[in-house]
Structure 1
Amino acid sequence: MQAVETARLRLRMITPHDAAFIQRLYSSEDFLRYIGDKEITDTDKAVEYIENNILKMHQEKGVCLLVVEIKDSSTPIGVCGLIKRDTLESHDIGYGFVPEIYGQGFALEAAQAIIEQAKHNADIDHLVAITTSDNIRSIALLTKLGFVFERVEEAINESVNLNLYGFSLGN
């Protein structure tokens, strides 16, 4: 995936130098609750995850999560990008942000940039997003982006489902 800039943000390739940030983000309470435990307990495990998952996906499938940073300060605040899972028919937009920046529109801005980039890829005509039914912030973001509920992927427990949302790029 190519680096992209917005008015306030820079989205760039993740490198092993981002390990400390990835460890902090992936260990945050909301990330663990809504996305899951990737068992990134230290920076060495973060480097492994970056190399064996994110960069490997980029090499094999041409898409991956990008680091989202504030343009003016180069401060990393999250990840956002496309994921191609073998279990889904379409590319999946994925994102996660540090709680300190919630409510400032950064996730919306980053996701819009990724969607714009996807529109220029003739191989992608539809995007999906997966979120738990109790992740109100993520559902609100997907709704603002124009995603619509398509189906329940699986029941996680008696009160929470893993829901799939879709977005047509019109390609």
Structure 2
Amino acid sequence: MILETERLVLREAGLDDAAFVLDLLNAPGFLQGIGDRGVRNLDQARDYIETRIIGSYRDHGFGMWVVAPKDAHEPAGLAGLVKREVLPHVDLGYAFLERSWGQGYAQEAAMAVLDHARGRLGLATVAAIVNPDNWASRRVLEKIGFTFIDVRHLDGWEQPSAYYCA
């Protein structure tokens, strides 16, 4: 376990999370709000976990963590920190299965990640990027203390991103 909130546990992802990651990365909300990662089967999901998620733990000491409600133990989403070459600061990210929307999990998990980034990791500034049309996600960021900076066209990204900092 990496973090714990009143209702949630955030833990490192493992290869046994492949079915969950496959579902999440192919959910309509993920595809529309975040983008297509090209993960279409369990082998690709395991590779994504190994290279992208576990690779970030290895390279940076942080990454995206599996979020599960304490009373369900089934993963609801991912939340954590990402280091991207196209951004000047580490950024906070989250994505949840649609069955978990509207329960406050994104806000609760994102706040815990932000507190962890500032406290345990000592990051003075944390960024966040989001599809400019994703108003629900933008509200989550603003509720936990992020400030909208501008809309940016990041190198290698097809769509523009709303850029926030906290």
Give the TM-score taking structure 2 as reference length.
0.93
CA–CA distance in structure 2, aligned partners of residues 116 and 67 of structure 1: 17
CA–CA distance in structure 1, aligned partners of residues 66 and 122 of structure 2: 23
Q: 1:116 is matched by which residue type in structure 2?
A: D
In structure 2, list runs of 5 or more residues that go unmatched.
Answer: none
Q: Which runs of 4+ in 1 moved over 6 A?
A: none
CA–CA distance in structure 1, aligned partners of residues 101 and 71 of structure 2: 18
- Give, in angstroms, the shift of residue 122 of structure 1: 5.2
Matched, 1:57 2:60: no
Q: Which residue of 2 aligns with 1:141?
A: 140
CA–CA distance in structure 1, aligned partners of residues 29 and 57 of structure 2: 25
Q: How does 1:79-98 map to 2 (within 5 A)?
A: 79-98=78-97
- Please identify which structure carries the higher strand content: 1
Give the TM-score taking structure 1 as reference length.
0.91
Q: How many pairs were matched up? A: 164
- Give, in angstroms, the shift of residue 161 of structure 1: 3.4
Q: Which residue of 2 aligns with 1:13?
A: 12
- Give, in angstroms, the shift of residue 81 of structure 1: 0.2
Worse-matched range after superposition: 64-73 or 2-11 = 2-11
CA–CA distance in structure 2, aligned partners of residues 87 and 101 of structure 1: 30
In structure 1, list runs of 5 or more residues that go unmatched.
Answer: none
Q: Share of identical aligned residues, percent?
A: 36
Q: Which residue of 2 aligns with 1:114?
A: 113
CA–CA distance in structure 2, aligned partners of residues 111 and 122 of structure 1: 15
